[in-house]
Amino acid sequence: MLTTPSFEYLLLSPMLIILAAAVIGVLAEAFLDRNHLPVIQLFISVGAILLALIQIYRIKSSSSTSAAIGSVVIDKATIYLQGTILIIGLLALLLISDQEQFVAQASAIPGSREEQESTSKGSIQTEIYPLLSFALAGMMLFTCASDLITLFVALEVFSLPLYLLAGLSRRRRLLSQEAALKYFLLGAYSSAFFLFGAAFLYGISGSVYLVDISSAVSGGYGNDVFVLIGLIFISVGLLFKISAVPFHAWTPDVYQGAPTSVTAFMAAATKVAAFGAILRIFYVVFSPIANQWRPIISVIAIITMVFGSAVAIAQRDVKRMLAYSSIAHAGFILTAVLALNKSGLSAALFYLTTYGLSTLAAFGIITLIRDATGEVTDLNKWAGLGKKSPLIAGSFAFLLLSFAGIPLTSGFIGKFAIFSAAYETGNIAVVVFGVLSSALAAFFYIRVILLMFVAQSQNDSISIAIPSVKSRIAIGATTAATVILGLFPSLLLNITQSFSIFIK
């Protein structure tokens, strides 16, 4: 007897709104006047995100496993993560809407006359807005997906637009295109691993639903080797997205090559989405066999923290440096996965939010430091920035201190929460390495601060662009959030504590 599948549209509405905005954006590309498109597209995207945030607020205390016939789970943690992704998306959108960084016509060959013409005409690739909306919708779906199909589809829906966005930089186009190619090939490679792992999990449980896989895993029937193969291959796909070592190699190249505002979005939002999925899978599905995967995840967390922190020191490009720092941070958050308890989850949620906001702010500031050829990311040219613009350099220094986890910054509270949660559950080795590598990390952040404030400036060619109102809002809001959450962390800690619930 067939029953009509039932959907709880209210619970799905945040995602549906963003997806609808993406589709409408594509239609607008096709039918509307190109001159008005930038404004229209921005309006559609911002409007959709605001609407979705309102919906998130309305459903903030609901939870359901049957919102879409078992394919998605809406619970407290999901709602929190989706809200975070939307807020990050909104602020990133404000940065991205400064068209300055994007190529005028992506299909034109770099250096060709066609390119010069389109640049001088002031054309704009407004497709970035629908692409961004698709990515956002995919990320939101990724955090709540509760079957293998939805997980895989969501993974691709948020990855494919990002591959394209990475290749749209106006300056240094070859590098940007190369970043897109690398991101795409390696991303596709990792999703193949993910899918292969999914096949084995399906194999042992006979179901694509995470709930059934979880009970199959804890029941111990099926084939243990298959469980482990499934576990490993699925983890590879996820660890790639959070750029854990040794699946990190794309990160510095892509972060450097992509337009900076896109990098800001990728660094902040992808991490939230991917960790959302990782936390769900490890907390919900694999927690019964924690003893088997804890050692390897511990090792990966340790290597990631240490490697990220150590190599960051060697970087001479500020975007690459932040890329390695994001690798190190992935290691810190992985530590929370090991905790496998409510305080670990709460700590991870807190860390993801604060890290996401600070990262947006840091990349936002990078977009302002320019010379005649565009953004200046060579660290040596940043020498003496503190004298040129104490406010900008001071804000950047503060963000770096937050990344380093110096007390009175949100980064410190986040690290403290994560390490104490992991410590409570006996992951002492990881905590020790975590503390050591955050000390190591403090080293390279402070080096940049010294460079900005102490070192003599070698050339005067760099200037600080006057940010547009949109960038100013984005950078100001994220920096202010970092300051406020450092001084008053309990504002957010209370929220993350009440929202750290996964249901099966």
In the sheet that holds 374-375, the strands lie side by side as: 374-375, 369-371, 463-464
Q: Which is nearer to another protein, 59 or 323 (CB)?
A: 323
Q: Which is nearer to another protein, 32 or 296 (CB)?
A: 296
Q: Which is nearer to another protein, 54 or 192 (CB)?
A: 192
> Residue type at 217?
V
Give 18-68 as a DSSP string. Answer: HHHHHHHHHHHHHHS-TTTHHHHHHHHHHHHHHHHHHHHHHTTT--BS-TB
Task: Provide the token pair at 458.
Answer: 């070698």
Q: Which is nearer to another protein, 117 or 224 (CB)?
A: 224
Q: Which is nearer to another protein, 62 or 420 (CB)?
A: 420
CB of 365 to another protein, least distance (A): 19
Number of H helices and number of E strands within the chain?
21, 3
CB of 487 to another protein, least distance (A): 7
CB of 293 to another protein, least distance (A): 7
Q: Which is nearer to another protein, 228 or 464 (CB)?
A: 228
Q: Which is nearer to another protein, 52 or 102 (CB)?
A: 102
Task: Provide the token pair at 186.
Answer: 């390696």
Do 240 and 278 contact (CB within 8 A), yes or no? no
CB of 99 to another protein, least distance (A): 19
CB of 236 to another protein, least distance (A): 6
Do 5 and 69 contact (CB within 8 A), yes or no? yes
Q: Give the integer Cα–Cα distance in Å for 174 and 259.
A: 12
> Residue type at 28?
A
Backbone angles phi, psi at 109, to 5 degrees: -70, 135
CB of 172 to another protein, least distance (A): 9
Q: Give the integer Cα–Cα distance in Å for 454 and 270.
A: 35
Give the ranges where 425-468 is alpha helix by DSSP (H).
428-453
CB of 354 to another protein, least distance (A): 13
What residue has token string 């720092």? 325
